[in-house]
Structure 1
Amino acid sequence: MISALFARNVPARTFEVSKLVVRVCALRQLSDEGRQSFRGRDNNRGYGGDRNSRGGYGRGERNNRRPTGSARGARSKGEPPLRLSNVVRVTDDQSSKDVTLDGLHQSGVIDTELHKAVSRMNFESLTPVQQKTIKPILETEHDVIARAKTGTGKTLAFLVPIFEHLIKTRTESPYMVKCVIVAPTRDLALQIDSEIEKLHKNNYALKKFKSIALIGGSNFQVAIKRMFKDRPNIVVATPGRLIDVMSKFSDKFFTHVDFKVLDEADRLLEIGFDEDLRDISKTLNSINATGPEHIRTLLFSATLGDSVQKLAAGIMNRKESLFLDTVDVNEPEAHEKIDQRLVISENFTSNLCAPISAIKTRLATNNEPYKAILFVPTVKFTKFYCTILERLFPSLPVYEFHGKIDQRKRTKMVGLFKRAHEGIFVCTDVGARGMDFPGVEEVLQLGVPSELSNYIHRIGRTARGGKEGRATIYLFKDELPFIDTLAREKNVKIVDQDDYAANKDDIEEFNSCLRDEYMFREGLESMLSFYKGCEQSYGFYMPRVARQIANAYGQCLIQPDKKMPISRSTASMRYGLKGRIVEEIFDCGSSHRESYDNEERFPSRSNRFRNSGSRSNQGGYDSGRRISRQRWESDDKFDTKRFRSPSRGENPRIDNE
């Protein structure tokens, strides 16, 4: 069009107008293409796109309201087809079922020292995941993409090939890092490191291949000193801490890496480590002494959505990759050896009493030690419920675990529960992945998980290593849309269902242990925020859910007419509740914070000065003394840290509550 204007020798003003028309047409075309692309993402929401389009930690989807009981945009069952080029799919033939540890040793696939270590770990046989992955990894030089469920032994599936490689190359650069394992959470990284220590303990010949866990929350300088002292061959790390170390010491330790392993790659992407993983891979390739395409990649994931496939395409170095699918297409994602059960309560109050009733029945009818994990949605409610269990079951150890606990205490807590023969491990979804506790008889779930996939990972804490286990989820009636979503999107159907209604004695017993009303209120508030966050994901009707939680406040206090003190602005801004229902279920007459008796717990600074003379007499800012000003600044920092601390990042949706 522009060339035609030149040919006709049109006036300059007409030419400028024509250029404007061309630009407008082009912008309209781009806008139409953008809208079509956006619609395409919406229609295919679920596997692809970024976090905000999946309804996970992001909130992009929650602004689109839908009728009660409906679920997220439909997606096909099973995994999307592999779109990666140069991928060799390894077929599931009968021969893989005949693979044994002794057979691998006799055929020369694994070394004698490694065979001794694994044999002494009391493995009766290899799990199906190990049978299908160990041999192909060791007999080829390809990159590997493996799909495996949680709790199926995939950690050993990549540790055995790693140690076999270290044994064969023990004389080549023995003081450099040869394998980097990236895990999504600190706890999973420590879990992998503990599995490496088990191999060391079961055969001291392997102890020369040292390892280290580089995780956030630990002392950076101590970790670096240990790196220089021990010169580990294996590094297990979370992405953030690994980037910190590599930014300063990449040329000191990471120039001879042969393997990089991504464990639970889908979880890494859900948390938002996509760019970090690409940066790690790019840095390792660029500094590798052998060449930029030398490093082999082993990627393990429970799901293989579009985002995982895009990541694999961006970080794989070899010309061909093996795809090892250890999950049957028609098989539900939940472990088949887990006996799943659903207990439906008539209201939220009964739901609070239901797990307690089940634990009491189990302890009364069976003298065997009871070891269980109880999942609770939020941090504040985890703290509250731990106090209830400790008072009801004084002889049964109760372990509190969530993202607000510092890393040293979390590591200690995990070690204590691993060694314990009995006890209840009460945790948020931070403990849903990567935690391997031996002897867990049952997994209890009070309420829905923060994400749909976390249900699979929650129940995967039992029935580990081929054993059987039980999993019970306790829901009140307004949470039942979650069960429909679980059946439709994860192909998990819970057949065994029971009803539960708390009687007067159950509620009075619960009330007898409720000694901190302030903690109870905070816990209920956090639950309201949690269910608001899940409203769109699971199809909840928030006014009905909020009524159940608010009614539980007075019912558990044995004061049915007492309402939860929450202001109208809080109900509107945090929970999305407006209109008459706010007045019906909440006490909006008094200030929300004043109802907590904060005047006694946290006296205001102004009252202190008003009652005790001038600010100068109290050593305030007017005193002119620098140490006094620093003291007040320190107080302000303490207040900010104590009452407004941000999430540690393990689970942003629940850890903020």
Structure 2
Amino acid sequence: GSKLIHVPKEDNSKEVTLDSLLEEGVLDKEIHKAITRMEFPGLTPVQQKTIKPILSSEDHDVIARAKTGTGKTFAFLIPIFQHLINTKFDSQYMVKAVIVAPTRDLALQIEAEVKKIHDMNYGLKKYACVSLVGGTDFRAAMNKMNKLRPNIVIATPGRLIDVLEKYSNKFFRFVDYKVLDEADRLLEIGFRDDLETISGILNEKNSKSADNIKTLLFSATLDDKVQKLANNIMNKKECLFLDTVDKNEPEAHERIDQSVVISEKFANSIFAAVEHIKKQIKERDSNYKAIIFAPTVKFTSFLCSILKNEFKKDLPILEFHGKITQNKRTSLVKRFKKDESGILVCTDVGARGMDFPNVHEVLQIGVPSELANYIHRIGRTARSGKEGSSVLFICKDELPFVRELEDAKNIVIAKQEKYEPSEEIKSEVLEAVTEEPEDISDIVISLISSYRSCIKEYRFSERRILPEIASTYGVLLNDPQLKIPVSRRFLDKLGLSRSPIGKAMFEIR
């Protein structure tokens, strides 16, 4: 492995600006021009800390710990463009930089940032960029590679391996940079072997030397898994470790005004959210842009139909989750970025790395699939220096989640209020429910299995939380005594046929 060099935080270090990087000869005027035209208020702390170290030495790799929403995409794109300018006469029709991202949405978003740089300075358009992501047409992508001969490729791991296995000699023999964005997320999804394979192929095919490629690894967390991966894919003898996250600052963004709304019943969170949105639309005169997170795909669709019934005349309601085709997801992302107002209803697919400007609020009904995703979810607001707020709607049996946030992540949500729905809001929302009882039962069963999977992590009481989630069925059908009808075989499959919890939740038909 390479030797890790910790670059200490300097408290009184002077501000690094685009101008100072230009004056020191670190940045070329072409890239300086493009970034200046974007009119950022200044370089973010992550960019100030990383751009110069990445560029000022060819012979070490870089690991940077950086939170999402802190401007890290430009922290690696600026050095990559600078390198392309520096080497513009060498192998100019070959891929020189490979950026690996955990999800298609994030890969396409990085590609959109590259296009911004192109649009701000046409002189940089000759450094073309192609994204290689799963769920898109392989042949079309290869035609694009042949036509554009890009210097930058942004990819998800699986698709990248497919391309490397067939075309590494043709395009990838002259790579100088590889970037792993959100390395912790890449590992969480289980891409470790793929990343090592990619690194191996790129090194083996490299025309200069097996250790030519400089590696940049960006990650919000740096646990043993990330460090082990780094050891296996870094090429240089030395690796700079740049920590841009302040030890004393709590994990979540300080600028986000966080609150939690606690109901007696899980179903009441739906009423609470609708009432909250109503109030916001009225106060902001329909100029309201929010993202609302839900635990499962089925529940997300259901919530979307309720919100459409309630608010369609006020603002667009968009549904976003993994079951939607990639093309549709791409156009939804474009649309929500552009829209001044609207509500994006999504699963945790939208929690990481997605950058939507001017989101006023992040709302969450129920808990995320894992603790870290709470931080990623709320990070969709208050981006690039703006204010934002987040509201978590939960029932009292979900309160252990809030304690876990405090213990494990040092996040204290001080603002807590209790909620009790009025008969009026209940009947208004329940009238908007158009689903058949079978569909409602599917939706609630999807929630049950989602909650079962995080009982341990959040220290929920199984005997309380599961019957509470199950009771949503009766509430939504306006008969609180109703239980979800299931067969005994189904209960066996859940492993609940002998348990008193099963009897509390289901009616056996």
The alignment's TM-score, normalised by the length of structure 1, stands at: 0.76
1:12 is matched with none
Q: In terms of Rg, which structure is larger?
A: 1
Cα distance in 2 for partners of 1:481, 1:344 equals 12
- 1:382-420 CA distances to partner (integer Å, 9 max, x unpaired)? 111100000011222111111111111111111111111
Is the Cα–Cα contact under 8 Å of residues 265 and 395 in structure 2 kept in the other structure? yes
Give 2:387's aligned amino acid: E
Alpha-carbon distance in 2 for matches of 1:86, 1:268: 23
Identity rate, percent: 56
Is residue 111–residue 154 contact of structure 2 (8 Å, CA) maintained in 1? Answer: yes
Q: How does 1:379-394 map to 2 (within 5 A)?
A: 379-394=297-312
State the Cα deviation string for residues 448-488 of structure 1 (Å, max 9, x = none): 11011111110111111121111111111111111111111
1:277 equivalent to 2:195? Answer yes
Task: Look up the equivalent residue of 1:496 and give its one-letter code.
Answer: K
Work out whether residues 532 and 576 of structure 1, in 8 Å CA contact, stay in contact via their aligned partners in 2: no
The match for 2:330 among 411, 418, 424 is 411
Q: Give the corresponding residue for 1:108.
A: 25
Give 1:235-314 correspondences, 5 Å limit: 235-314=153-232
TM-superposed CA distance for 1:565, in Å, is 1.0
Letter in 2 for 1:408: N
Question: Which residue is 1:354 aligned to?
Answer: 272
| Counterpart for residue 431 of structure 2 | 512
SS at match of 2:63: strand
Matches of 1:481 and 1:561, distance apart in 2: 26
Match of 1:639 in 2: none
Query: Which one of 287, 295, 303 corresponds to residue 377 of structure 1?
Result: 295
Note if contact 2:2-2:236 (Cα within 8 Å) is conserved in structure 1.
Answer: no
Shift of 1:290: 0.4
> How far apart, CA to CA, are the structure 1 residues paired with 2:381 and 2:486?
39
Q: Are the structure 2 counterparts of residues 572 and 333 from structure 1 closer, same or farther at C-alpha, using a change threshold of 3 Å?
A: farther
Could you tell me which residue of structure 1 aligns to residue 465 of structure 2?
Answer: 545
The equivalent position to 2:3 in structure 1, one of 86, 105, 110, is 86
Which of residues 344, 358, 363 is equivalent to 1:439? Answer: 358
Question: CA-to-partner distance for each residue in 1:296-343, whole Å, 9 max, x for gaps?
Answer: 000000000001000101111111110000011122111111111111
Structure 1 residue 561 displacement after superposition: 2.6
Greater shift after overlay, 166-175 or 340-349?
A: 340-349
In structure 1, give the amino acid aligned to 2:8: T
What is residue 96 of structure 2 aligned with on the other side? 178
CA positional deviation for 1:574: 2.4
| Cα deviation digits, residues 413-464 of structure 1 (max 9, x gap) | 1111111111100110011111000111110111111011111110111111
CA drift at 1:257: 0.1
Structure 1: distance between partners of 2:258 and 2:503: 40
**In structure 2, distance between residues paired with 1:434 and 1:324:** 20
- C-alpha contact (below 8 Å) 2:286/2:341 kept by paired residues: no
Q: Which amino acid aligns with 1:336?
A: E
Match of 2:410 in 1: 491
Deviation, 1:350, is: 1.0
Match of residue 421, structure 2, among 478, 495, 502: 502
Matching residue of 1:133: 50
1:371–1:440 contact (8 Å) kept in structure 2: yes
1:507, CA displacement in angstroms? Answer: 1.4
Offset of residue 577 of structure 1: 6.2
- The aligned residue for residue 490 of structure 2 is 570
Query: Which residue in 1 is equivalent to 2:449?
Result: 529
CA contact (8 A) 2:2 2:235 kept: no
Q: How many equivalent pairs are there?
A: 506
Please identify which structure carries the higher strand content.
2
1:570 and 1:149, CA in 2 relative to 1: closer, same or farther beyond 3 A? Answer: same
1:568 Cα deviation (Å)?
Answer: 3.5
In 2, Cα distance between equivalents of 1:232 and 1:514: 50
SS in 1 for 2:491: helix
The residue identity in structure 2 corresponding to 1:285 is: N
Q: Distance in 2 between matches of 1:177 and 1:238?
A: 16
SS at match of 1:115: helix
Aligned residue for 1:465, secondary structure, equals coil
Match of 2:319 in 1: 400
- 8 Å contact kept, 2:46–2:75: yes
Contact residue 2 and residue 237 of structure 2 kept, 8 A: no
CA deviation digits over 1:24-56, x for unaligned, max 9?
xxxxxxxxxxxxxxxxxxxxxxxxxxxxxxxxx
Q: Could you tell me whether the CA contact under 8 Å between 1:148 and 1:300 is conserved in 2?
A: yes
Query: Which residue type is aligned with residue 300 of structure 2?
Result: T
Q: 1:166 aligns with which of 71, 84, 94?
A: 84
- Picking from 373, 386, 393, the partner of 1:454 is 373
- In structure 2, relative to structure 1, the CA distance for the partners of 1:85 and 1:177 (3 Å cut) is closer
Deviations 1:138-168 (A, max 9, x none): 1122100000111000000000000000011
Per the TM alignment, residue 103 of structure 1 is displaced from its structure 2 partner at its CA by 1.3
- Match of 2:449, as an amino acid? S
Judged with a 3 Å threshold, the aligned counterparts in structure 2 of structure 1 residues 455 and 97 are, in CA distance, closer, same or farther, namely farther
Looking at structure 2, the residues matched to 87 and 561 of structure 1 have their Cα atoms a distance apart, in angstroms, of 62
Alignment partner for residue 391 of structure 2, among 469, 472, 475?
472
Following TM superposition, by how much is the alpha carbon of 1:381 offset from its aligned partner in structure 2, in angstroms? 0.6
CA shift, 1:96, in A, is: 4.4
Could you tell me whether the CA contact under 8 Å between 1:182 and 1:263 is conserved in 2?
yes
- The equivalent position to 1:123 in structure 2, one of 40, 54, 58, is 40
For the residue of structure 1 that corresponds to 2:384, the secondary structure is helix
TM-align CA RMSD:
1.3
* Counterpart residue number, 1:191: 109
1:430 maps to 349
Change (3 A) 1:136 1:388: same
* 1:546 CA displacement: 2.1
Residues 399 and 88 from structure 1, CA distance in 2 versus in 1: closer, same or farther, beyond 3 angstroms? same
Amino acid at match of 1:178: K
Which consecutive unaligned segments of at least 5 residues does structure 1 have? 1-83, 591-657
Q: CA deviation at 1:575?
A: 6.4
CA 1:416–1:132 in 2, change beyond 3 Å: closer, same or farther? Answer: same
Matched residues in 2 for 1:290 and 1:376: separation?
49
**CA–CA distance in structure 1, aligned partners of residues 111 and 400 of structure 2:** 39
Shift of 1:346: 1.1
How far 1:97 moved relative to its partner? 4.8
Q: Determine helix, strand or coil for the equivalent of 1:445.
A: strand
2:480 to 560, 584, 609: 560
2: CA distance, partners of 1:165 / 1:290: 16
Per-residue deviation, 1:566: 2.1
1:584: Cα distance to partner?
3.6
Any stretches of 5+ residues in structure 2 without a counterpart?
none
Give matches, 1:631-642, under 5 Å.
none
Indicate if the aligned counterparts of 2:264 and 2:420 stay in contact, CA closer than 8 A: yes
User: Separation in 1 of the partners of 2:46 and 2:38?
Assistant: 17
Q: Which amino acid aligns with 1:89?
A: H
Using structure 2 for the length normalisation, give the TM-score: 0.97
Task: State the Cα distance separating 1:573 from its structure 2 match.
Answer: 3.0
CA contact (8 A) 1:528 1:575 kept: no
